[in-house]
Amino acid sequence: MQEFLPPRRLLLGPGPSLVHPRVLRAMATPLLGHLDPAFLTVMTDIQTLLREIFHTNNRFTIALSGTGSAGMEAAIVNVVEPGDAVVVGVNGVFGTRLATVVERCGGKAIRVEAPWGRIIETAAIEAALSRSGPVKAVALVHAETSTGARQPLDAVGALCRTHNALFIVDAVTSLAGIPVEVDAWGIDVCYSGTQKCLSCPPGLAPVTVSERALETITRRRTPCQSWYLDFSLIAAYWEEGSRAYHHTAPISMVYALREALRLVEEEGLPARFARHRLNSAALVAGLAALGFTLLPPAGRQLPMLTCVTVPSHIDDAVVRAQLLQAYGIEIGGGLGPLKGKVWRIGLMGESSTEANVLTLLNALEEIGIRSGWLSTPGVALQAAARAYSHTPLEKDGV
Ligand SMILES: *Cc1c(COP(=O)(O)O)cnc(C)c1O
């Protein structure tokens, strides 16, 4: 067998996103033992940086081994015991999954549903809490990557406290792309993933847990059904001063995350959020000029994941295949009921640049000209350029 050399790709799908060369370089640095004092300082650095981007003082703030889904599984398996009721917002793939995981833990998922693309109204969550008996937790997806909808969270934490429920939030796609205010919003368990707006390869799941949730977990009647993801055991490895062996940390991934978090810190969260907003506004303007319409209603759209309905003159699968094969551009198709109907374009972390937006729109225009559905070349680029025109040309680089 020969060396594997991946084809050049512009990753503009729902994840993974492009990774900064500094992060790739960090992954190639020599290994340390996972209990080496030098490695323990790397872990402490990660905890410090994660607390900053989660906006939390939570002592238990760690990077769990595994992708975003491991974060989801850990959040549920630690909190939910057999028979526990959990109110779950279901308006896309990831809410659906949360409900499934609750049921696999022997819990009762009380689904509060909304059409895909819509948000879960706070009033509907309140109604579910009021008509149900004791509820252990409310679980919501902040950025529903399957639909591009941005779930408001700020009023739910207080509701959870009134009903003595924990508040669990999936921030896999939102973290480092839009504000995630763990303490201010009263979130008890928040998990993310490295491969979306953190622009680090998939492999770790940042997780933060409130003292209130830790107390609930400590009082469990039954041991956590997962040994690998048991927070009470993992705490012994991440707790400064104890650092006892639980499982071997994925050393290179931890190096990568430290570097990715340093890049986030260097840019600064406000600038990073503004960059995501600007590039998404330009992309949306360009796509609108080509006849695409946004799936989520106005004001509910995510800047890092644009979900658009594909107009009837465009063949979903054919054009996505052309983008990949002729231009090396990856975008995402629709999932579940949205299969064949929408595109999911990710401008996450390193992928969110003006150059990438213009490259994608340019490729779409050329495909449109060659396929005969675009008669006025330049409309998308003009619309995007107008969105950028009030800001000076950025030095982008990929
Ligand atoms: C991507 C994603 C996940 C799962 O993350 P993986 O890294 O694929 O395991 C969970 N929730 C949301 C909202 C996501 O976008």
pLDDT in tens, 197-219: 999 999 999 999 999 999 999 99
Higher pLDDT, 240 or 266: 266
Q: What percent of the chain has pLDDT over 90?
A: 95
Average the pLDDT over 115-123 and give the result: 98
Instruction: Kindly state if the Cβ of 191 falls inside 6 Å of ligand 1.
Output: no
Average the pLDDT over 343-360 and give the result: 98
Q: Which of 226, 221, 216, 230 is nearest to 135 (CA)?
A: 216
- Ligand 1 centroid–CA 172 distance in Å is 6
Q: Which of 107, 114, 155, 115 is nearest to 132 (CA)?
A: 107
Instruction: Kindly state if the Cβ of 94 falls inside 6 Å of ligand 1.
Output: yes
- Ligand 1 centroid–CA 173 distance in Å is 7
CB 201 within 8 A of CB 19: yes
Instruction: Kindly state if the Cβ of 149 falls inside 6 Å of ligand 1.
Output: no
Q: Residue 117 and residue 144: Cα distance in Å, rounded?
A: 8
Instruction: Answer yes or no: is 320 a known binding residue.
Output: no
pLDDT at 398: 40
The CA-based dihedral angle spanning residues 156, 158, 164, 169, taken in that order and rounded to the nearest 10 degrees:
40
Instruction: Kindly state if the Cβ of 145 falls inside 6 Å of ligand 1.
Output: yes
Can you tell me which atom of ligand 1 is nearest the CA of 205?
Answer: 7
A 10 A CB-CB count for 230 gives: 18
Average the pLDDT over 10-32 and give the result: 98
Binned at pLDDT 50, 70 and 90, residue 47 comes out as very high
20 pLDDT higher than 60: yes
Binned at pLDDT 50, 70 and 90, residue 394 comes out as low
Q: Residue 355 and residue 177: Cα distance in Å, rounded?
A: 18
Instruction: Kindly state if the Cβ of 201 falls inside 6 Å of ligand 1.
Output: no
Q: Is the dihedral of CA 221, 226, 229, 233 positive or negative?
A: positive
397 pLDDT higher than 70: no
Beta strands at 143-144 and 189-191: parallel, antiparallel or unpaired: unpaired
pLDDT at 209: 98
- Ligand 1 centroid–CA 366 distance in Å is 32
pLDDT at 392: 65
CA 241 to chain centre: 31
Average the pLDDT over 235-252 and give the result: 90
CB 167 within 8 A of CB 142: no
Average the pLDDT over 249-263 and give the result: 98
Can you tell me which atom of ligand 1 is nearest the CA of 202?
Answer: 7
Q: Which of 17, 67, 147, 178 to mutate to test the pocket of ligand 1 (most atoms within 8 A of CB)?
A: 67
The neighbouring-strand residues paired with 89 are 112
Angle at 216 between CA 214 and CA 219, to 5 degrees: 110
112 pLDDT higher than 50: yes
Whole-angstrom CA distances from 7 to 38, 206, 327, 352 are 36, 30, 11, 20
142-171 tens-digit pLDDT: 999 999 999 999 999 999 999 999 999 999
Q: Which of 94, 142, 191 to mutate to test the pocket of ligand 1 (most atoms within 8 A of CB)?
A: 94
**Average pLDDT of the chain to the nearest whole number:** 96
Instruction: Kindly state if the Cβ of 68 falls inside 6 Å of ligand 1.
Output: yes
CB contact set of 160 (below 8 Å; sequence gap of 6+)? 129, 137, 138, 166, 167, 186, 188
pLDDT at 393: 60
CA 284 to chain centre: 20
- Ligand 1 centroid–CA 195 distance in Å is 9
Binned at pLDDT 50, 70 and 90, residue 240 comes out as confident
124 pLDDT higher than 80: yes
Instruction: Kindly state if the Cβ of 141 falls inside 6 Å of ligand 1.
Output: yes
Can you tell me which atom of ligand 1 is nearest the CA of 146?
Answer: 15
Instruction: Kindly state if the Cβ of 202 falls inside 6 Å of ligand 1.
Output: yes
Average the pLDDT over 75-80 and give the result: 98
Task: Give me the DSSP letters along 39-51.
Answer: HHHHHHHHHHHHH
**C-alpha neighbours within 13 Å on the C-beta side of residue 191:** 27
Instruction: Kindly state if the Cβ of 146 falls inside 6 Å of ligand 1.
Output: no
Structure tokens at 154: 């700020």
pLDDT at 395: 56
- Ligand 1 centroid–CA 192 distance in Å is 8
CB contact set of 257 (below 8 Å; sequence gap of 6+)? 46, 63, 194, 198, 200, 204, 206
Q: Residue 104 and residue 99: Cα distance in Å, rounded?
A: 9
Structure tokens at 210: 């409130």
Q: Which of 299, 290, 313 is nearest to 360 (CA)?
A: 290
CA 91 to chain centre: 16
- Ligand 1 centroid–CA 242 distance in Å is 31
CB contact set of 312 (below 8 Å; sequence gap of 6+)? none
pLDDT at 390: 73
Domains and CATH numbers, the chain: 21-265 (3.40.640.10), 268-389 (3.90.1150.10)
Structure tokens at 117: 């693309």
110 pLDDT higher than 70: yes
Q: What percent of the chain has pLDDT over 70?
A: 98
Binned at pLDDT 50, 70 and 90, residue 315 comes out as very high
pLDDT at 22: 98
- Ligand 1 centroid–CA 397 distance in Å is 27
Average the pLDDT over 76-82 and give the result: 98
pLDDT at 242: 80
Instruction: Kindly state if the Cβ of 195 falls inside 6 Å of ligand 1.
Output: yes
